[in-house]
Chain A
């Protein structure tokens, strides 16, 4: 285990409460075995990262949990109930943003509610609230092509928040965002995690990003994708971002993960 920066106070009040359970999930694409016997539990209110080299099936696993890709065998339980497709308790944030280019920021953010038949006044009210939360006030009537990559992904995140799902699934949300904006974005995400009290499942291939934002990191190994290690960074997030990034505990966890993954680097 990594040396914690500050010893975490043992949780005495609640026993682990799994909101998402992954049971014996296998996924094959023809002869290719993408995932083998994945068993995981994701605790309510925590941010868990799926981390691994390319080809480890982390995005596939996230899409199986989202109900966008069918698994070959095994089951996904959300709040104890088996699910086979997308549902209102989960919302997805896409790597390529998946914004409708013909719709304004406001309509894009409100789209999840539009599909559910929520009235225009109500969905615009909710959408405007979350547009503010992600820091895009004043951009409601802009179109996606008028925004930078980072701003587009903020729209994607606001859209996921607007449907008030318990679980947010983020598929490499910052990979198409440049480095400076990425850092700012990670800091903003942590504030949103703090404020919104939701469960986050986060896919990334950036070790630093995973350690910086996660309560728990699931390391996957490739071909076929399996769970190789689970790490809890135990980082005190009340410290300033630049303090965290220079902290020994943080750097040790990054190093530990790198040692675990370097065998897969070409």
Chain B
């Protein structure tokens, strides 16, 4: 293999036959095979459009992509970004953890028992339909402006999504698998832990991903509506002094963190809980 010109690693399989392996050939071959190439093209297109829009400019308050990146690097280096994230992560992590544990447990109970469903489902359907931003001031009124209020904002957004998805996940378990477990004299405990929960896992995780995304919305609402802290403070502060590149950098960074968190969750699910998906 003489692919030294290639900047990308291409696996040996199928690489044979390309005697004159120029950079272009290698790239084309890579594009045909790798998802990563298309993800890269997708992001590159987005950032180029952003850069052009910033240079036009569509608004004096709209920085270019490169200005935003350099502002982000600056904030990362001068020690403002990391402490801000440490503050933002407190209500986010606590709120998402509580929502995940409580939400999956409640959802599973609702999925298993009609009475639990009738008792709890209306509450969560109303909560999911309610515009939560309107309720955040009420939370402040009762719990003040501290960590409790912000954690509560995260839970209010994340919990209903996780509960309702977990409940649907259990309701859509293959009834034939449950019958199979019963026919081999599996008890109720075995039915739940060996059949129902594993079969519900894909939908449980879909709910968890939606819940975490909602948790990010909750923490940003809290930090923008209750009191500016963490990333919310960075956004508010740089907006107030018309430092738009830095403001956009803070916004973009929280979007990136949210995206990476969801991707990491998906990786964990596929890697550890869905062995059959590992092999194509």
Segment of B74-82, B115-123, B181-189 in the binding face: B181-189
Chain B, residue nearest A88 (CB): B185
Contact B195 A66 (CB under 8 A): no
Does any Cβ of B come within 8 Å of A241's Cβ?
no
From 72 to 103 in chain A, residues with beta carbon under 8 angstroms from any chain B beta carbon are 85-88, 90-92, 94, 96, 98, 100-102
Shortest distance between the CB of B99 and any CB in chain A (Å): 25
Contact A94 B275 (CB under 8 A): no
Does any Cβ of B come within 8 Å of A26's Cβ?
no
A87-B185 contact given A68-B179, A98-B179, CB 8 Å threshold = yes
Does any Cβ of A come within 8 Å of B146's Cβ?
no
Main secondary structure of the interface of B (DSSP, over half): helix
Chain B, residue nearest A63 (CB): B179
- Residues in B with CB closer than 8 Å to A143 are 275-276, 279
Which one of B180, B183, B190 has the highest number of Cβ atoms from chain A below 10 Å of its Cβ? B183
Shortest distance between the CB of B138 and any CB in chain A (Å): 43
A116-B176 contact given A143-B276, A143-B279, CB 8 Å threshold = no
Chain A, residue nearest B190 (CB): A115
Contact A116 B198 (CB under 8 A): no
Q: Residues of A within 8 Å of B, CB-based: how many?
A: 27
Contact A100 B184 (CB under 8 A): no
Q: Residues of B within 8 Å of A, CB-based: how many?
A: 22
- Residues in A with CB closer than 8 Å to B273 are 102
A68-B276 contact given A100-B177, A102-B198, CB 8 Å threshold = no
Write out, one digit per residue, whether chain B residues 250-280 have a CB within 8 A of any chain A CB (1) or not (0): 0000000000000000000000011110010
Does any Cβ of A come within 8 Å of B33's Cβ?
no
- Residues in B with CB closer than 8 Å to A203 are none
Does any Cβ of A come within 8 Å of B172's Cβ?
no
Contact B177 A98 (CB under 8 A): yes
Contact A102 B176 (CB under 8 A): no
A115-B181 contact given A94-B176, A96-B176, CB 8 Å threshold = yes
Chain A, residue nearest B177 (CB): A98
- Residues in B with CB closer than 8 Å to A88 are 185
Does any Cβ of A come within 8 Å of B55's Cβ?
no
Which one of B181, B182, B184 has the highest number of Cβ atoms from chain A below 10 Å of its Cβ? B184
Name the contact of B182 in the complex, choosing from A86, A144, A146, A163 (C-beta under 8 A). A86
Contact A145 B276 (CB under 8 A): yes
Does any Cβ of A come within 8 Å of B194's Cβ?
yes
- Residues in B with CB closer than 8 Å to A146 are 279
Contact B184 A98 (CB under 8 A): no
Q: In the complex the two chains form, what is the Cα distance from A163 to B195 in whole Å?
A: 18
A98-B180 contact given A143-B275, A145-B276, CB 8 Å threshold = yes
- Residues in A with CB closer than 8 Å to B174 are 98
Name the contact of A100 in the complex, choosing from B179, B182, B198, B279 (C-beta under 8 A). B198
Contact B185 A115 (CB under 8 A): yes
- Residues in A with CB closer than 8 Å to B176 are 94, 96, 98
Shortest distance between the CB of A70 and any CB in chain B (Å): 12
- Residues in B with CB closer than 8 Å to A101 are 199, 276
From 155 to 204 in chain B, residues with beta carbon under 8 angstroms from any chain A beta carbon are 174, 176-177, 179-186, 190, 194-195, 198-199, 201
Write out, one digit per residue, whether chain A residues 85-129 have a CB within 8 A of any chain B CB (1) or not (0): 111101110101010111010000001101110000000000000
Shortest distance between the CB of B137 and any CB in chain A (Å): 45
Contact B183 A100 (CB under 8 A): no
- Residues in B with CB closer than 8 Å to A92 are 179-180, 183
A163-B276 contact given A96-B176, A100-B195, A115-B194, CB 8 Å threshold = no
Instruction: List the interface of chain A (C-beta within 8 A of B).
Output: 66-68, 85-88, 90-92, 94, 96, 98, 100-102, 104, 111-112, 114-116, 143-146, 163
- Complex A-B, nearest 8 residue pairs according to Cβ-Cβ distance, in ascending order: A98-B180, A143-B276, A112-B184, A92-B183, A115-B186, A98-B176, A86-B183, A115-B184
Assuming A91-B183, A102-B198, what are 15 further A-B pairs, CB within 8 angstroms?
A: A86-B183, A86-B184, A92-B179, A96-B176, A98-B174, A98-B176, A102-B276, A111-B184, A114-B194, A115-B184, A115-B190, A143-B275, A145-B276, A146-B279, A163-B184
